[in-house]
């Protein structure tokens, strides 16, 4: 779809060839703004990620494999379904956003991308950078998961820098690297959000009567992207109602849950204390959008402990023979705390499995 970009802070507008995801006037985050109303999509008939090309920013994406993951019914509970995002090429939902970012980097003529990551996004970007023939510079916070660092390096396209500081500081370093070295700044920005909204299109096609979608929250582009997809589908007449969106965080890193519980409109930084590295983010970038998505769908926010996630990790392995990471099964741990009626149909997003 034809589009432009608009700054979320100062409302400056840029055309689609602008070549950055950051406003050059105020350094605010840009958002994709389509030139036409969203198109109705035949979600029931869709077979792959690229069936949703009509609702994505114009671009050359076709040679990348991504998405089209299965929705599987739980063995122990008929009301519960699982969206198996580890079926993506680098075993997490991050691939959906990475293909859009890497295609845009190529379109704008960059030979290098840079990002801050807790691991999965960097692995995903390194993988698609390799396919596209460009380099990737990765900044990771102290205490980065060494298994993930090894995976990223093994791709061969990326150099990894472990910094003294947390993820938020890594993001600042990635930003300044992009400015100094003319690299394309990738990460939790607008193009990624566009790719990630396709999970909503897939879920609504696979289970039209879904009532709840439970979503792990790190930087919160997954939930904000999924909400954007739902809003578009309602506007285009593709669906008539939205399921409730339930945000899940680790109890040692649950600033959005805290804000939701206290009815606050401000998200306060919290130093992450959890083994679930994929969702250990002190100040989620899309935290406010998450509160908005929860409120507008009648959803909620739930914290889960590391022990609860570990229990679900074992249960998921017993049922599916697949080892998901702790953040990847946070949604299943949250489900244990929810009271569903017999009519409810819940989808837990299993977001990643890089362990
Ligand atoms: Zn601006």
- DSSP letter for each residue of 309-353: HHHHHHHHHHHHS----TGGGHHHHHHTT----TT--EEEEE-B-
Q: What is the pLDDT of residues 298-331, one digit of tens each?
A: 999 999 999 999 999 999 999 889 999 999 999 9
- 276: which 2 tokens? 């679930």
Residues of the chain with pLDDT > 70, as a percent, come to 100
- Taking the centre of ligand 1 as the mean of its atom positions, its distance from the CA of residue 30, in whole angstroms, is 8
Give residue 68 CA to ligand 1 midpoint distance, Å.
35
**How far apart are alpha carbons 156 and 135 in whole angstroms?**
9
12 C-alpha to center of ligand 1: Å?
5
Q: Does residue 47 have a pLDDT over 90?
A: no
- How do strand 244-250 and strand 80-84 relate by DSSP bridges? unpaired
Instruction: Give the distance (Å) from ligand 1 centre to CA of residue 8.
Output: 7
CA of 288 to the centre of ligand 1 (A): 18
pTM of the model: 0.95
What is the whole-number distance in angstroms between the Cα of residue 294 and the centre of ligand 1? 26
pLDDT at 308: 98
Count of CB atoms situated within 10 Å of the CB of 50: 18
Determine the pLDDT at residue 355: 82
The pLDDT tens digits for 97-125 are 999 999 999 999 999 999 999 899 999 99
- Is the C-alpha dihedral spanning 135, 101, 186, 106 positive or negative? positive
CA of 31 to the centre of ligand 1 (A): 11
pLDDT for 75: 82
- Positions of E strands within 79-221: 80-84, 112-116, 135-140, 158-162, 184-185, 212-216
Q: Is the dihedral of CA 300, 225, 198, 310 positive or negative?
A: negative
CA 28 to ligand 1 center in whole angstroms: 5
Query: What's the CA-to-centroid distance between 49 and ligand 1, angstroms?
Result: 31
Ligand 1 centroid from CA 26, angstroms: 4
Determine how many CB atoms are found less than 10 A away from the CB of residue 14: 17
65 C-alpha to ligand 1 centroid (Å):
34
Residue 129 CA to ligand 1 center (angstroms) comes to 28
Token readout for 106 is 């190529």
Ligand 1 centre to CA of 22 (Å) is 8
CA angle 19, 22, 27 (to 5 degrees): 140
Q: CB within 8 A of 10, min separation 6: which ones?
A: 23, 25, 26, 28
The CA distances from residue 182 to 32, 169, 173, 185, 201, in Å, are: 22, 20, 14, 9, 34
pLDDT of residue 77: 80
Average pLDDT, the chain: 95
Give the Å distance between the CA of 249 and the centre of ligand 1. 30
Task: Tell which residue, 251, 249, 246, has the closest CA to residue 330.
Answer: 249
Average pLDDT over residues 177-192: 96
Ion ligand 1: protein residues whose beta carbon lies under 5 Å: 7, 9-10, 12, 23, 25-26, 28
pLDDT at 95 over 90: yes
- For residue 9, how far is its CA from the centre of ligand 1 (angstroms)? 5
pLDDT tops 80 at residue 76? no
Q: How many Å lie between the centroid of ligand 1 and the Cα of residue 92?
A: 31
Predicted pLDDT of residue 122: 96
Expressed in angstroms and rounded, the spacing between residue 312 Cα and the centre of ligand 1 is 42
Ligand 1 centroid to Cα of residue 14, in Å, is 10
Per-residue pLDDT, 314: 97
Q: What is the dihedral of CA 321, 322, 327, 333, to 10 degrees?
A: -20
Closest CA to 201 of 223, 233, 156: 233
Q: Is residue 81 scored above 90 in pLDDT?
A: yes
| Per-residue pLDDT at 350 exceeds 90 | yes
Helix, strand, or coil here: 24? coil
Contacts of 128-134 spanning 24+ positions with Cβ under 8 A = 128/64, 128/95, 128/98, 128/99, 128/102, 129/102, 129/155, 129/157, 129/158, 130/155, 130/156, 130/157, 131/63, 131/64, 131/102, 132/102, 132/103, 132/105, 132/106, 134/102, 134/105, 134/106, 134/110
Report the separation in Å between the CA atom of 13 and the middle of ligand 1, taken as the mean of its atom positions: 8
Confidence class for position 143, pLDDT limits 50, 70, 90: confident
Is residue 249 predicted with pLDDT exceeding 90? yes
Distance 29 CA to ligand 1 centre (A): 7
Task: For residue 154, report the distance from its CA to the centre of ligand 1, in Å.
Answer: 38
Rounded distance between C-alpha atoms, residue 50 and residue 28, angstroms: 30
């Amino acid at each position: 779809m034809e589009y432009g970009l608009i700054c979320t802070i100062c409302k400056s507008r840029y055309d689609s060839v602008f070549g950055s995801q950051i406003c050059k006037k105020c350094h605010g985050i840009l958002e994709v703004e389509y030139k036409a109303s969203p198109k109705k999509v035949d979600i029931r008939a869709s077979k792959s990620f690229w069936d949703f090309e009509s609702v994505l920013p114009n671009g050359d994406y076709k040679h990348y494999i991504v998405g089209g993951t299965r929705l599987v019914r739980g063995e122990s509970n008929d009301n519960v379904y699982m969206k198996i995002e580890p079926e993506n090429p680098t075993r997490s939902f991050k691939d959906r956003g990475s293909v859009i970012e890497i295609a845009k980097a190529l379109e704008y003529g960059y030979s290098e991308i840079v990002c801050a990551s807790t691991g999965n996004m960097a692995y995903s970007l390194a993988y698609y950078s390799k396919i596209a023939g460009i380099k990737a510079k990765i900044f990771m916070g102290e205490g980065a998961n060494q298994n993930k660092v090894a995976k990223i390096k093994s791709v061969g396209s990326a150099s990894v820098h472990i910094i003294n500081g947390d993820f938020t500081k890594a993001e600042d370093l990635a930003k300044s690297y992009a400015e100094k070295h003319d690299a394309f700044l990738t990460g939790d920005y607008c193009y990624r959000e566009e790719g990630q909204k396709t999970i909503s299109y897939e879920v609504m096609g696979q289970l039209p009567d879904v009532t709840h979608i439970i979503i792990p929250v790190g930087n919160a582009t997954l939930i904000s992207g999924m909400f954007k997809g739902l809003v578009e589908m309602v506007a285009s007449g593709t669906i008539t109602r939205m399921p409730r969106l339930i945000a899940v965080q680790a109890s040692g890193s649950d600033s959005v849950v805290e804000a939701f519980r206290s009815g606050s409109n401000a998200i306060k930084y919290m130093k992450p204390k959890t083994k679930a590295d994929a969702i250990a983010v002190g100040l989620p970038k899309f935290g406010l959008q998450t509160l908005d998505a929860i409120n507008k769908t009648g959803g909620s926010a739930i914290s889960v402990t590391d022990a609860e996630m570990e229990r679900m990790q074992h249960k998921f392995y017993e049922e599916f023979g697949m080892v998901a990471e702790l953040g990847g099964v946070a949604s299943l741990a949250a489900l244990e705390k929810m009271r569903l009626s017999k009519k409810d149909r819940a989808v837990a997003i299993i977001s990643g499995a890089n362990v």
